[in-house]
Amino acid sequence: MAGKFVISKTSNGKFHFVLKAGNGEVILQSQMYAALDDAKNGVESVRSNAADATRFQKAMSKKNEPYFSLTATNGQVVGMSEMYSSEAARDNGIESVRKNAPDAKVEDKSAET
């Protein structure tokens, strides 16, 4: 099964998306967006920037857990990962985003309650 982007609307009326791998696991989540079109633009930004390995920023949380963020050409973060148990797992997450994002279908669930 291929990866997919899922766009949702939050209880406060904002929009966000996640990128799921083929196994259904969330590998990247977005910030909150005021408008649905902005969230869709965010998806396209992830698609285009995921191919460039230099767009991924590897980091460690305050609890010493590895994670990554994906930045656009303007330097804005367009997605962040979960916290991983190891740097190797984080690096696998980056590769999963790079593999899944370019061809992932978009599932818009923003109209659902």
Domain membership of residue 50 (yes or no) is: yes
Domain around 49: 4-108
Q: How many independent structural domains does the chain possess?
A: 1
Residue 112 has pLDDT above 90, yes or no: no
Residue 113 forms part of a structural domain: no
CB 98 within 8 A of CB 53: yes
Flag whether 97 is in a domain: yes
Which pLDDT value is given to residue 111?
A: 87
pLDDT tens per residue across span 8-53: 999 999 999 999 998 999 999 999 999 999 999 999 999 999 999 9
Residue type present at position 66: P
Residue 77 domain-assigned (yes or no): yes
Domain-embedded: residue 58: yes
Which CATH number fits the domain that encloses residue 90?
A: 2.30.29.80
Tens-place pLDDT, residues 55-100: 999 999 999 999 999 999 999 999 999 999 999 999 999 999 999 9
Residue 113, pLDDT > 60, answer no
Residue 98: exposed, middle, or buried by beta-carbon count in 10 A (0-12, 13-18, 19+)? middle
Helix (H, G, I), strand (E, B) or coil at 6: strand
